[in-house]
A = this chain, B = another copy of it.
Amino acid sequence: MSMLVGGWIAIDEVETPFAKTSGALGGSATFTVLAASLFTPVRLLAAIGEDFPTEFRAALGRPNVDLTGLTVEGAETSRWGARYSYDMNSRDTLYTVFGVNAAWKPRIPAGWEDTTAACMSALDPVMQRDLIRALPASRVSLVDTIRFFIDTALPELRTTMNVADFVTLNEDEARQIAGTPSIAKAGRKFIEEGVQGLVIKLGEYGAVYMSKSDYFVAPGYPLEEVLDPTGAGDAFAGGFLGYLDTVTAITPAEIRRALIYASTVASFCVEGYGPARLLTLTRAEVDQRYRAFRTLTHFDVD
């Protein structure tokens, strides 16, 4: 097994009510790769500029992360700046510098044809589905997105959402695309229109999963200190698909396990600035918190 993560690597500047960080390793692919690598070998497909710090490349190059697909292009690394509200449940993007990603054309390295899972972080939706289709051995795929592509490429995004096995959206994104304030109604609409597995991420409240035959609610892990929500949704996606890449068969029960693993990894992510906590996180810590989720949510019927 091995999972390809396609997306952006960036240099972030993030302001929370408690701290401001700049020149930090970021980009959705960063968080997705680090989360997924806790479960399965990962192949990163992304572009950086010549300005990309050596130590950031070293941070990404975890033992089971293959950086062959991380190419240096002739422009600057993407940059992103954002500021969070007091309760950290909302943020404003202050700027996005596309840099190398303005013209990047991803090419899957030779030897990666045996990739078994395709995880598409936010990218141009046509690029996302081309990459999914270019991996014939992949048995599971996921697409995430950001508001930019909802605003500029919605028809293509809707097509791509129906190609992937799983789609992850934020609550606000789901409401925006579906045009309804009800999450349950938005989800049903997506499923009726061809989405196979939909995850709506609820931030600190967890996530809901919907398919034609299932509906599952995964709570958020109760945290006393949230340092930085950046990348939590990307870590969620990476943990989710990373776990699913390792299972014998992708059953409803395994999908539920994957959602709890996803919520678990996301909960660790927000405990550090940028990807700092993910960089020290171990599978044993993940498994311990996974079991705590069970204790948090269990109740008896009879």
Contact = CB atoms under 8 A, between A and B. Distances in A.
Interface of A: 17, 86-88, 175, 181-185, 187-188, 202, 204-206, 208, 215-220, 222-226, 253, 256-257, 259-260, 290-291, 294-301
B290 A294 contact: no
A182 B226 contact: yes
B208 A300 contact: no
Chain A: interface secondary structure? mixed
Given A182-B224, A184-B223, A256-B300, 19 more contacts: A17-B181, A86-B181, A87-B175, A87-B181, A185-B224, A188-B224, A202-B205, A205-B205, A205-B206, A208-B222, A217-B297, A218-B299, A219-B219, A219-B297, A256-B298, A257-B300, A290-B301, A291-B301, A294-B301
A157 B224 CA distance: 24
A93 to B, nearest CB: 21
Contacts of A301: 290-291, 294
Contacts of A86: 181
Contacts of A216: 296-297, 299
Contacts of A299: 216, 218, 253, 256-257, 259-260, 294
A297 B297 contact: yes
Contacts of A257: 299-300
A253 B217 CA distance: 20
A115 to B, nearest CB: 27
Nearest to A85: B181
A294 B256 CA distance: 13
Nearest to A287: B301
9 contacts: A88-B181, A182-B223, A183-B204, A187-B222, A217-B220, A217-B296, A256-B299, A259-B299, A297-B297
Nearest to A295: B215
A251 B86 CA distance: 37
A249 to B, nearest CB: 14
A123 B296 CA distance: 32
Contacts of A300: 253, 256-257
A252 to B, nearest CB: 10
A224 B210 CA distance: 13
